[in-house]
Amino acid sequence: CHGAPMARYWMHNGLTRAESAGKVGGRTEREATEQPDADVESKISRSRGAGGLAELIALHGGERIRFFLLRTHYRSTIVFSEAGIEQAGVALESFYRFFERYKRITGDDFYQLQPTTSRADGDLPESDVPLLGEAAACRSRFLEWMDDDFNTAGATSELFELLRLMNRFVDETQLEDPQAGTEADSSSLTTVA
How far is it, in rounded angstroms, from Cα 183 to Cα 60?
39
CB 52 within 8 A of CB 43: yes
Torsion angles phi and psi, residue 18, rounded to 5: -70, 150
CB neighbours of residue 173 within 10 Å: 20
**pLDDT confidence of residue 20:** 65
CB neighbours of residue 142 within 10 Å: 19
Which helix (H) or strand (E) segment holds residue 57: the answer is helix 51-60
CB 142 within 8 A of CB 159: yes
pLDDT-wise least confident of 23-37, 94-108, 151-165:
23-37
| pLDDT single digits (tens) 5-52 | 888 887 778 788 877 655 455 445 455 556 555 544 444 544 444 457
Tell me which of 87 and 27 has the higher pLDDT: 87
| pLDDT single digits (tens) 111-155 | 999 989 899 998 988 888 899 999 999 999 999 999 999 999 999
